[in-house]
């Protein structure tokens, strides 16, 4: 089989509409554009969001909120998810990324107290909640802030 021998399956391709080729074509005279008006002209398109001179929706709605560009993006990890590490392991940011618990470490990782910890772990991350710290130390591990 050669490249020039390839054909599409019958019925897969439809012939294009021949617009503006006389009355008998079914798309003659105004070529499906109606009579006059902006959309009948060449290059006559209306930009997205334009509402014919009426105040557009994106300008009618009030502006709300504020985004702090200096805010620290901290990833949250629950204590219960740390059970997948081996007993006595050192858990830091890189270990969490390698295990797939954290996808990207933005500005740090905080361990939260949701869940139950069964293993003795040495956890070194940016921050801990009080309950998470208690659960790690109750399991015999160490919670260290870096």
DSSP codes joined into one string, 12-75: SS-PPP-TTS-GGGSS-TTTTS-SSSGGGSTT----TT--TTSPPHHHHSPP-----TT----E
Question: What is the structure's pLDDT at 122?
Answer: 92
Q: Span 75-140: which CATH code?
A: 3.100.10.10
Secondary structure class of 141 (helix, strand, coil): coil
Predicted local distance difference test score (pLDDT) of residue 51 = 94
Question: From edge to edge, which strands make up the β-sheet containing 122-125?
Answer: 90-91, 122-125, 142-145
Q: Where are the domains of the chain?
A: 75-140
> In angstroms, what is the C-alpha Rg of the chain?
32
Taking only the tens of pLDDT, the chain with its 146 residues reads: 899 999 999 999 999 999 999 999 889 999 989 999 999 999 988 999 999 999 999 999 999 999 999 998 899 999 999 999 998 899 999 999 999 999 887 889 999 999 999 889 999 999 999 999 999 999 999 999 98
Q: What is the pLDDT of residue 66?
A: 92
Instruction: Judge contact between 90 and 122, C-beta under 8 A.
Output: yes
**Of 117, 119, 99, 118, nearest in space to 109 by CA:** 99
Query: Which residues fall within 8 angstroms of residue 120, CB to CB, at 6 or more apart?
Result: 87, 88, 139, 140, 141
Q: Bridge-partner residues for 90, per DSSP? A: 122
pLDDT at position 132 is 93
In angstroms, the CA 1 to CA 40 distance is: 47
Q: What is the pTM of this model?
A: 0.56
């Amino acid at each position: 089989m050669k490249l020039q021998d390839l054909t599409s399956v019958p019925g897969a391709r439809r012939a294009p509409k021949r617009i503006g080729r006389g009355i008998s074509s079914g798309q003659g005279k105004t070529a499906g554009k109606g009579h006059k008006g902006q959309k009948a002209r060449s290059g006559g398109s209306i930009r997205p969001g334009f509402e014919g001179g009426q105040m557009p929706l994106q300008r009618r709605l009030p502006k709300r909120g504020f985004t702090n560009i200096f805010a620290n993006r901290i990833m949250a990890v629950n204590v219960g998810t740390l059970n997948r590490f081996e007993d006595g392991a050192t858990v830091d940011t890189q270990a969490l990324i390698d295990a797939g618990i954290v996808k990207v470490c933005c500005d740090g990782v905080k361990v939260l107290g949701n869940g139950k910890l069964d293993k003795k772990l040495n956890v070194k991350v940016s921050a801990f909640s009080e309950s998470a710290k208690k659960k790690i130390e109750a399991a015999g591990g160490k919670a260290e802030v870096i």
